[in-house]
Chain A
Amino acid sequence: GNSVTQMEGPVTLSEEAFLTINCTYTATGYPSLFWYVQYPGEGLQLLLKATKADDKGSNKGFEATYRKETTSFHLEKGSVQVSDSAVYFCARGGATNKLIFGTGTLLAVQP
Chain B
Amino acid sequence: GAVVSQHPSRVICKSGTSVKIECRSLDFQATTMFWYRQFPKQSLMLMATSNEGSKATYEQGVEKDKFLINHASLTLSTLTVASAHPEDSSFYICSARGSSNEKLFFGSGTQLSVL
Contacts and interface: CB of A to CB of B under 8 A. Distances in A.
Contacts of B106: 36, 38, 43-45
What's the interface size class on A, roughly? 20 to 34
Contacts of B6: 43
Contacts of B100: 97
A33 to B, nearest CB: 14
B110 to A, nearest CB: 11
Given A42-B108, A43-B107, A99 B46 contact: yes
Main secondary structure of the interface of B (DSSP, over half): strand
B46 A43 contact: no
B89 interface: no
Contacts of B21: none
B86 to A, nearest CB: 22
Interface stretch (A64-72, A77-85, A100-108): A100-108
A99 B97 CA distance: 12
A73 interface: no
Interface of A: 2, 4, 8, 36, 38, 41-46, 89, 96-104
5 contacts: A44-B93, A99-B104, A100-B43, A101-B43, A101-B44
